[in-house]
Structure 1
Amino acid sequence: MNFDDLTINIIKALGHPVRYKIIKFLYESPKCVCKLNEEFQFSQANLSQHLRILKDASVLKSEKVGVETHYSLYSEEIKNIINAVENYVGIVIENAKR
């Protein structure tokens, strides 16, 4: 996969509402998949699909801890991307009020 393809995959992965919520949920610390299931109330298959997309785009990584799989952000840089977009949205909203 080349640079542009990976960039596009990351942007696409971040652009889905469910995946955005998963990323925000993992901001502070890694969580086991059981905690993700509790938080998001999706079918296991649906959650697994979103997690796979995020992993394939190098947004999340997973680690086996005993019998559990724990997910975390691939890099702290993901937070910077989300924060930059959220800051930009704040600017857009503020400008729309004028």
Structure 2
Amino acid sequence: MNQDDLAVKIFKALGHPVRFKIMKFLCNGPKCVCKLNEEFEYSQANLSQHLRILKDAGLVKNEKVGLEVHYRLYNDNVKNIVDNVEKYVLDYVNNIKETGLV
């Protein structure tokens, strides 16, 4: 897979509302799957599919801690992606309000 293909895979993974919410939740630190299940009321199977897609895109990684599986962002650059998207959206929305394009 070349760099462009990986970039597209990352954008596709982040393009789903549930996966973007998972990423925002993980920006606050590692979480066990049980906490993710509490936060997102989806079936375990559905949540696992979303986590697998994020992991395959290189956005999250997991580790076994005792009997639990914990997920975390792959590194701080991933957090920067999420933060930058949120900043961009805020700027974009504010610009639309200021210019009256709403």
Question: For the superposition of Structure 1 and Structure 2, which TM-score range results when normalised by the shorter chain?
Answer: over 0.9
The TM-score with structure 2 as length reference comes to: 0.91
**1: distance between equivalents of 2:95 and 2:27?**
28
Which residue of structure 1 lines up, in the alignment, with residue 90 of structure 2?
A: 90
For structure 2, the 5+ residue unaligned runs are none
Which residue of structure 2 lines up, in the alignment, with residue 25 of structure 1?
A: 25
Which residue of structure 2 lines up, in the alignment, with residue 71 of structure 1?
A: 71
Q: Give the 3-state SS of the residue equivalent to 2:27 in structure 1.
A: coil
Q: Give the 3-state SS of the residue equivalent to 1:64 in structure 2.
A: strand
Which residue of structure 2 lines up, in the alignment, with residue 41 of structure 1?
A: 41
**2: distance between equivalents of 1:27 and 1:33?**
15
- Name the Cα RMSD after superposition: 0.9
Q: Give the 3-state SS of the residue equivalent to 2:29 in structure 1.
A: coil
Q: Which amino acid aligns with 2:67?
A: V
**2: distance between equivalents of 1:94 and 1:41?**
31
Give 1:66 deviation, angstroms: 1.2
Which residue of structure 2 lines up, in the alignment, with residue 60 of structure 1?
A: 60
**1: distance between equivalents of 2:22 and 2:85?**
16
Q: Give the 3-state SS of the residue equivalent to 1:71 in structure 2.
A: strand
Number of residue pairs aligned between Structure 1 and Structure 2: 98
The TM-score with structure 1 as length reference comes to: 0.95
Q: Which amino acid aligns with 2:59?
A: V
Give 1:79 deviation, angstroms: 1.4
For structure 1, the 5+ residue unaligned runs are none
**2: distance between equivalents of 1:28 and 1:86?**
15
